[in-house]
Amino acid sequence: MTADPSPTNVESTIADSTVKQDPLPNRASNPAPKPDSQTLIKIENFDAYYGDFQAIHSLDIQIPQNKVTAFIGPSGCGKSTLLRWINRMNDTVPSAHANGTLRMGDLDILASTTDAVSLRRQVGIVFQKPNPFPKSIYDNVAFGPRLHMRLTKSELDELVEWSLQKAAVWEEVKDRLKKPALGLSGGQQQRLCIARAIAVGPKVLLMDEPCSALDPSSTLAIEDLMDELRDQYTIVIVTHNMQQASRCSDKTAFFFEGRLVEFGETEQVFTLPKKQQTEDYVSGRFG
């Protein structure tokens, strides 16, 4: 039997070969059973600012584990701001500050003692525009593992293949791994970026309008991929595409002017919204 080269497995093998606990909690063939309602990210009384401008007001929301949660709402309502706080990307914006509770499991994301680099290893992000490094396809995926893990060449090869397979792009790139990533199509580049994100074994995948620069068939490929990945990762997607939110997500949060208007099961939010404002938005009457 071939060993599972998933990052969780490779790392736990290297870290301590005597550990007896299941080293493969993320593996598709052996998903850990999780109750439907388990919360991974807990946000309470959360305010976010750029200087004096308050972009998010008193937010309370719980992001469920191993589900796809969609953030929807008109431009400027704070969706990306929230996403960027979940993996502390806003550390790079000098005017950005926040208060309240933002936790992933036991980890206090906002605490100054929380290391943003190791947080980002657990919380990967995929942006609107695919942003592969100007390196080979192989080196893009190997970049994070080389930084964070000590792997042999063959372990790294296996992990790169595993990640590209998970991201449903392996068949298209397996014969050109040493070729520049920038030579791939936009849809392939985006799947490569997803492979790069999952290569380091994150718990969460944040996706900020991941399909808005893609054609319909690449969009479909990414949506299928989200469906594949939802069992193993907690996915949060920001999207302006209502069909996409209703097709792909389990839960939907509707924001307006920095406030959460409604959060619930996607089917309920789209078919039986509790708030008139939600109904007006999802039916295309504004925004």
Ligand X SMILES: Nc1ncnc2c1ncn2[C@@H]1O[C@H](COP(=O)(O)OP(=O)(O)OP(=O)(O)O)[C@@H](O)[C@H]1O
- Which stretches of the chain bind ligand X, using CB under 6 A? 50, 53, 55, 73, 75-81, 93, 95
User: How far apart are the C-alpha atoms of 85 and 41, rounded to whole Å?
Assistant: 12
Pick between residue 53 and residue 286 the one whose CB is nearest to ligand X.
Answer: 53
**C-beta of 11: minimal distance to ligand X in Å?**
33
**C-beta of 147: minimal distance to ligand X in Å?**
27
Pick between residue 8 and residue 212 the one whose CB is nearest to ligand X.
Answer: 212
**C-beta of 55: minimal distance to ligand X in Å?**
4
Which letter does DSSP use for residue 180 in this model? Answer: B
Total residue length of the chain? 287
Pick between residue 78 and residue 202 the one whose CB is nearest to ligand X.
Answer: 78
**C-beta of 238: minimal distance to ligand X in Å?**
6
**C-beta of 257: minimal distance to ligand X in Å?**
9
Pick between residue 31 and residue 51 the one whose CB is nearest to ligand X.
Answer: 51
Q: Is 143 exposed, middle or buried (0-12, 13-18, 19+ CB in 10 A)?
A: middle
Query: In DSSP terms, which residues pair with 98 in a beta bridge?
Result: 48
Pick between residue 127 and residue 162 the one whose CB is nearest to ligand X.
Answer: 127
**C-beta of 76: minimal distance to ligand X in Å?**
4
**C-beta of 36: minimal distance to ligand X in Å?**
28
Asked whether the beta carbons of 254 and 269 are under 8 A apart, the reply is: yes
Pick between residue 138 and residue 281 the one whose CB is nearest to ligand X.
Answer: 281
Pick between residue 96 and residue 198 the one whose CB is nearest to ligand X.
Answer: 96
